[in-house]
Amino acid sequence: MPLVTRVTDLIGRTPLFELATTATGTRLLLKLEQFNPTGAAKIRMAREMVLDAERRGLLASGGHIIESTSGNTGLGLAVVAAERGYRFSAVVDHHACKDKLRAMRAMGAELVFVADEGDDNLATSAREDYAEAMAAGQSDAFFTEQHNNDANAVGYYAVAEELLEDVDRVDILLSAVGTGGSLFGTATRLRQLGHTPRVIGVEPVGSIAFGGPGGPYWQSGTGTPPGATIGTAVDYSLLDEGVKVSDVAAFATARAVAAELGLMIGGSAGGSVHAALTRLEEFPPGSTVVTIVCDGGEKYLDTVFDDEWMNSRGLLDAAAEAEVSEMLEHYAPAARRRQRTPTAPTREMEVAR
């Protein structure tokens, strides 16, 4: 990469990781978006939403950006606001991971809480209502409203372009759906470029985007909780199938991937990977399956990767983690299996003994 002068110049060109391969040649590839600045995919759409607002005259020089966020969008907006000279207020709740909140504050964001200390319930609807009212009361403010902002999806067009630079085709695009921007923006651009993958959305059990009863869930930054409005960024016209994954399965997958491979992925990515692994044999032979890993697991050391936190919420399940570990071993690409096979002792080893 050439020398750059802005953090946002580092966005993109994230790597593809081959997680699993079947005997019939179907492979599961992970688009590792934690290699972006802020360690998440959402900085892509944060930048596009601000640039789009500038182009449309909705955000004046020195203006005030306001957004409701569970963390990753706020981190991206904090970077863009710092670069471009805006104030940024993140409307948050205590469901968000503490390290995301600390990082936003470190980058100059104002944190506005809609819940009392100690209340760690997800408060998406309350956050969005407060952010909208907050922006309406200030003449220089712009509510980016990520759930209903067309620039959200456009921010992910580059993901499709990067994928097609690395692989010939994408047969199945399977990823978590929060605002919907990453999955449907990538799918839209793939179609524009002449590719029509099967699009499978993944949400937590308890989320209402794909129907079914609503309820609480702990996966962060994904899904639509009861009482929240499903935004326009969720493009049902592109969706072939919606599936649900429990918190236990999602977190067990993230933990098993970390333990087996040394790769840290977030809880929502764990849900997507679980959905892909458990049905990998169902896809046509030779398929290329891509999952967008929206962030890394390092932000969840005090939640998903903390046994005490997991156990206190009834989420720790050693059997579920073992099941995922078995799938990872069963579907391990040949190169990784060779690397893990013990080699015969060398003469130097024998002498050392």
Active-site residue set:
42
Query: What are the backbone angles phi and psi of residue 105, rounded to the nearest 5°?
Result: -65, -40
**Strand spans (E) along the chain:** 16-21, 27-32, 64-68, 87-92, 110-113, 141-143, 172-176, 198-204, 241-245, 288-293
Q: What b/e readout covers 145-162, taking b as 16+ CB neighbours within 10 angstroms? A: bbbbbebbbbbbbbbbeb
Count the residues in the chain: 353
Q: Is residue 94 exposed (0-12), middle (13-18) or buried (19+ Cβ within 10 Å)?
A: middle
CA distance 343 to 76: 45
Cβ atoms within 10 Å of 312's Cβ, excluding its own:
10
- The residue written with tokens 């977030």 in the block is 266
DSSP assignment of 148-198: G-HHHHHTTHHHHHHHHHHSS--SEEEEE-SSSHHHHHHHHHHHHTT---E
CA distance 277 to 249: 11
